[in-house]
Amino acid sequence: MIHHTATSVVTIERFIIEQERQHPQATGQLSGILYDMALAAKMIASKVRSAGLVDILGATDDHNVQGEVQQKLDVFANETIIKAMDHGGRLCAMASEEEPDIIPIPDRFRCGKYCLLFDPLDGSSNIDVNVPVGTIFSIVKKVTKSKHGELADLLQPGRRQVAAGYVLYGSSTMLVYTTGQGAHGFTLDPSIGEFLLSHANIRTPDEGRYLSVNDAYEQHWDDSVRQLMRRYRGLEGGRRSLSVRYVGSLVADFHRNLLGGGVFCYPAHAKSPRGKLRLLYEANPLAFIVEQAGGAAIDGRKRILDIQPEELHQRTPLYIGSKADVDLASRTLAGLKTAVGA
Ligand code: FDP
């Protein structure tokens, strides 16, 4: 663990270099990917900030692979990340929530040993109403021998991630990432255009304050999910009730709960048997971060990071956040009759 004095200003670049130095065998490729992500984040942040001022609001005619209408800003964020990342010689393949297939590295560029998976602009249905949105990313190491990455390189369980992070475009822009040495947060200082260390070694409270769930789906939930929500609300089991907060932008809901303590739930339900969120672009990276911060993430039964993905756009139910609250989900959904607070 690197200690900085209260007065030292630590840029994300300095922090990444200092973390890299703790691994003498490091080639600098991973650090390079993280700088490039920080650059892409600054470009997207600048566009998001001016979204209300320019004629960029509203949907394009395109639909993404999930059949959702793409907002123009999604398209911009997607292209910005691809362009920032494809030429550095560190990646061998990419995958985006907005693209149906693997994104290859163009032949004119060198290929490296890492793969990047990302959700360029999460919470995009919130763009038009000035509600925070985010970018989420995950990095894994190539496992096949091919020069260009293959599907098998991208379809790795989350526990094999070497780094993951998210950017929250909120009242300030924050980037939080982990390389498995804790989760660290940086706030963009727009006056100098740098991400500065603001939240070193984030620890999420063991017990949460907040419950984030869209309970408009209650009619479609099964009985165990309904029971879990009653327990979170203190209506059953004698547990202290959680306060409900639901922005509807995963990054914003996750970030608030990470810092303040809480649980975000997107259960499977009758109309959406695998839930809504994407394992590779959303659940895995956030699960890596939350575990590094002392929290937990499950799909209702299994640890998210242990799920073997079968397809790029696989969906998963998600229960993520403070350890005690996720443990309660695990016990309740398994139908265990143990005491709620136990
Ligand atoms: P969005 O559809 O606006 O992109 O992953 C997609 C996501 O937002 C998450 O950010 C958010 O948590 C969730 O969907 C909201 O879904 P519901 O509207 O079904 O609650």
Place of tokens 């136990």: 342
Distance from C-alpha of 85 to C-alpha of 209, rounded to nearest angstrom: 38
* Nearest atom in ligand 1 to 251's CA: 10
Q: What residues in the chain have per-residue pLDDT under 70? A: 1-7, 52-71, 336-342
Q: How far is the CA of 329 from the centre of ligand 1 (A)?
A: 21
* Nearest atom in ligand 1 to 125's CA: 3
Q: How far is the CA of 245 from the centre of ligand 1 (A)?
A: 14
Place of tokens 């959406």: 272
Which residue in 86, 83, 87, 92 sits closest to 114, CA to CA?
A: 92
- Count CB neighbours of 151 within 10 A: 14
pLDDT of residue 238: 86
Pocket test for ligand 1, best of 63, 125, 256 (most atoms within 8 A of CB): 125
Q: Which two tokens stand for residue 31?
A: 């650090």
Q: How far is the CA of 143 from the centre of ligand 1 (A)?
A: 32
pLDDT of residue 55: 54
Residue nearest to atom 15 of ligand 1 (CA): 248
Q: Which residues contact 27 (CB under 8 A, 6 or more apart)?
A: none
Residues with CB under 6 A from ligand 1: 122-126, 214, 248-250, 276-277, 282
Instruction: Give yes or no for a contact between 126 and 133, defined as CB atoms under 8 angstroms apart.
Output: yes
Distance from C-alpha of 304 to C-alpha of 289, rounded to nearest angstrom: 12
Q: How far is the CA of 247 from the centre of ligand 1 (A)?
A: 9
Q: How far is the CA of 148 from the centre of ligand 1 (A)?
A: 32
* Nearest atom in ligand 1 to 217's CA: 19
Q: How far is the CA of 249 from the centre of ligand 1 (A)?
A: 6
Distance from C-alpha of 306 to C-alpha of 302, rounded to nearest angstrom: 7
